Structure 1
Amino acid sequence: MCNGCKECLKFKELQEFIEEQDQNNKESALIAVLHKAQGLYGYLSEEVQEFVAKKLEIPISKVYGVVTFYSYFTTEPKGKYVISVCTGTACFVRGAGDILDEFKKKLGIKEGQTTEDGQFTLDVLRCVGACSIAPVVLVNDKVYGYFEKEQVDQVLNEFKER
């Protein structure tokens, strides 16, 4: 490991975080460590998962099992802006399916995919707990309630300009 490149600095920061965890119960630290790693890298590559397994002294199969069990974790790079359309019951009956279809059409991708320019990833959420303002769309951490498919262009333009 070198001392200056961006990737090595991320691994160093992750290693320091791991060392701060309870060394007597490393398995209980796994989820916190994975959250930290995903925050640093944007996703959990095979290399990062192997690093975590080695440093926590747990099998890679355990790490991979946790990563693939929880929908929050991702093994693929995400776009700069992650668009999440809630398709829970309240959102769905209020038009979330049409909203999702409009995003797919405008972005030229399917759910779970990222645009070629790396700007947008389109995801589906089952429920965000904001049923009173359904349908709901999130772009990163920004929540849009009472969303209508006619707003898709406006939202995409808002984030393209950033």
Structure 2
Amino acid sequence: MFDWILEIVMRIIKQYGLLNPGELADYLEINDVLSVPVRIIHGGIFNTFALPIVLLSSDLSDRRRIGCFLHEIFHRVLHPGMNRLMDDVYIINRSEKLELEAHMGALIYAIMWDKEGFEDCCYNVYRFAEMYGLSQSAAYYVDKGIQKNGLEIFGITPPDPELYTP
């Protein structure tokens, strides 16, 4: 699953460039993003007859909003035509395949887009996922992918262990 999602993320980056999530959404024809003051719902994507609409909670921190937005973007990419809501229950308790895939796509893209934030987390995928409000299950699979392939797959040069102090 990791390799398939990484391939899709790389294809998107090759086609559009490594963009901030708002610009990426524009290229993927997600033009309407509504901010809603609801705590229980982090985000959702609804496909209308025209274009998809993304809902994002206004109660989320900036990075968690970005993580949620990327999660919804990757639902659009990986599961076109579906309507989904992301809430605390999905993040903590759900291991449903579609949710996991969207979390993995969001996490992989976020690592590549925010390399400085990933470094600030000492290259710890679990801490980085937590910072962006993405699932620990996704972090597990992404971490296994990094262990297998190295950080270079994300365009990151691994730090020299003798010089790097987390």
Larger Rg: 1
Task: Give the TM-score of the pair, scaled to structure 2.
Answer: 0.29
Task: Give the TM-score of the pair, scaled to structure 1.
Answer: 0.29
More helix by share: 2
